[in-house]
Structure 1
């Protein structure tokens, strides 16, 4: 590898630049996805729409965010990560900016649900998994933990400022700020992002000089994504991973990420204070998810998931009681829940790669993320409907907590008695398993 020799004198590996660009992109899209939590009440007041109606648009957004993932992973293999990221950011910036002109519910569903949901779905969790698997042979769990934590960091960075902007200037200027941030990333990605380390004469970070490089090119992204789903549905591990991630979505961004601020306002807690609470949770999640990535490189990932879901379930069951005493009850919830918010991602990605192989893990994880977002969509619309019908979020929080406790036992069965050969017998043209 003579071309790579000059690169070795550098004090850094370009993989870290790629990881930084990916972090910024996920940070910005996380800010976009966190924005609806500060828009629900202002939209309710301005247009007189019910919380269930507004939640429907957010549900469509979350659902598309997940469903686009598997096809985005295949598209990254076909046209490249850089082009996929550029298309995503352009769609997000356009859809968010145009949403300031809405006046009817269908426009909210079209712009925030379809356009923004589809755009953010192209840079969903599969982006981080794809980048890590291509650019890193070492420290994959740690890097993935940091990239995953970017969604919490985005919340931490954006929510207090957005809540203050909504309170002082209204919701439209806040939305334009988010659109501007997405647009500012476009030139950075265009000039600095690269698809694979071999494109610039490098090996993945930490890869041995004689390590074989496995590269696939997907000529039919749609067929590859559908074929991966078909194969996954025949795998017991896929059902366990997708089912557990469904509950993850049911208990995180679909419920707490969307409805905690409105629930706090119902309890008499000001919107800015509630947004600050979510931001604090984002800070704790940054620590928790980064630590989870480090732990996933060293310990049994099934046991880690068991602990994460059990602790999250207990935190959600406690939340309705914490809302009664905002002085310390919500602070305790923010710490316990925040540390665990999306700590499930690094172990889930590692278990997916173990089951289906590193090169194919992007598309397979994309379908698992789709299950996550289906759970998030169910929680968003369901909690909004429960609040509209009975005037209280308590049943939604308690039900979600119960599902987490059941899932804590379920994840221990992942990989038990595995007989699948999907990880090694894959058609490189379509990424479809062959007999």
Structure 2
């Protein structure tokens, strides 16, 4: 009986890591707002600022994390990340002041950096070549599936109180995260080659000689592919964060009930799973830059239909287009870096790209809110976002073909 290629175990572990971390730290935190405000009398802005500290792992820490991945491997960073996040959540259960609350979130932010997608995507990318798109699609789908944890978080708060819920979720970081981290091998290529030699027969090794040779970092940073990809990522995150953060205020502003708006907000990460799987599969069959352009086009069409969300048909069309589009584009980010530049300095390059994306992520919500404050409507913002996506598609299409594509 042939063995299951170990890279797929890494994919499964990374799926679980993204599911738990995203479900607890990102999507689940909104459930704690009202209990905290009732007990301490803090404002929504004060609580929101603490939550925004977790964005440090994507912005300030992403390039550093990328360097550390290349230096120490993914497993060590994951173990550090889950250990720190567990301590941070347990300390949150003992919070008595706003300063302590912020301090706990700084610890969580450091830990989240160790479990960021730079780490998990780097781990998956080091195992795969020809099936990279599918592998990344499955792993990153954990982020979309994490919306399923929100009811569990709410149940814990209702049953144990917010302190008990934080404590339980912190223990869960260790119980769930540490075993999954141990599955992620630090040096997968060496391990895979050892298995190949010891078994004397093929095990479906995914790494091939088609990997591009290492290039000088300065040459890569100045290349058209890398600059266009970074600009595209910044634009993509402006649009995604602007829409995701303001989806409920927008829908309520056009007359939708809060409960129905919440259903739409919860449906977005779940609907993105189709794009992560679908575009991940397409990336293994067709030229990756063309697949990325297609995903962005879907996203652009979706944000345009969002302008007419007061009509049911437009809302359903938005959910069918926008989430799969942005979900698929996330998968293509790492796949394109891997195909054009290989594994040499992959973590550093992906970290830089995610740092550029975080700039867009900071701009998107603020720009969307500022526009609504001054114009009294979100519709012009969605139109503007559509044109930004058109620019991003143009940037992607102007990327030169990769060496692998030219060799076909």
TM interval, shorter chain, is 0.7 to 0.9
For residues 156-186 of structure 1, what are the alpha-carbon distances to aligned partners after superposition, in whole Å with 9 as ceiling and x for unaligned?
Answer: x123444566689876666555434323224
Is 1:92 paired with 2:118?
no
Q: CA deviation at 1:123?
A: 2.1
Among 108, 118, 127, the alignment partner of 2:110 is 118
- CA distance in 1 between counterparts of 2:245 and 2:346 reads 29
SS at match of 1:341: helix
Q: CA deviation at 1:372?
A: 1.3
* Residues 275 and 177 (structure 1), Cα distance of their counterparts in 2 relative to 1, 3 Å cut: farther
SS at match of 2:58: helix
8 Å contact from structure 2 (residues 70, 345) kept in 1: no
Among 51, 54, 57, the alignment partner of 1:61 is 54
* Residues 169 and 403 (structure 1), Cα distance of their counterparts in 2 relative to 1, 3 Å cut: farther
Higher mean C-alpha deviation, range 27-36 or range 81-90: 27-36
- CA distance in 2 between counterparts of 1:37 and 1:47 reads 16
- CA distance in 1 between counterparts of 2:370 and 2:29 reads 16
Count of matched residue pairs: 393
Among 170, 184, 188, the alignment partner of 1:179 is 170
- State the partner residue of 1:428: none
Task: Give the alignment of 1:28-107 within 5 angstroms.
Answer: 28-31=20-23, 32-38=25-31, 47=41, 49=43, 51=45, 55-100=48-93
Task: Give the alignment of 1:343-382 within 5 angstroms.
Answer: 343-382=328-367
* Residues 137 and 355 (structure 1), Cα distance of their counterparts in 2 relative to 1, 3 Å cut: closer
Task: Give the alignment of 1:271-286 within 5 angstroms.
Answer: 273-286=260-273
- CA distance in 1 between counterparts of 2:402 and 2:122 reads 27
SS at match of 1:11: coil
Among 222, 235, 257, the alignment partner of 1:247 is 235
TM-score under structure 2 length normalisation: 0.80
8 Å contact from structure 1 (residues 73, 362) kept in 2: yes
* Residues 357 and 159 (structure 1), Cα distance of their counterparts in 2 relative to 1, 3 Å cut: same
- CA distance in 1 between counterparts of 2:282 and 2:230 reads 21
Q: CA deviation at 1:359?
A: 3.0
Gaps of 5+ in 2: 197-201, 404-408
* Residues 318 and 146 (structure 1), Cα distance of their counterparts in 2 relative to 1, 3 Å cut: same
Q: CA deviation at 1:27?
A: 1.3
Alignment RMSD: 3.8
TM-score under structure 1 length normalisation: 0.75
Gaps of 5+ in 1: 1-8, 217-226, 419-435
For residues 316-373 of structure 1, what are the alpha-carbon distances to aligned partners after superposition, in whole Å with 9 as ceiling and x for unaligned?
Answer: 2332431x34x55433322222221221123322321233223332321121011112
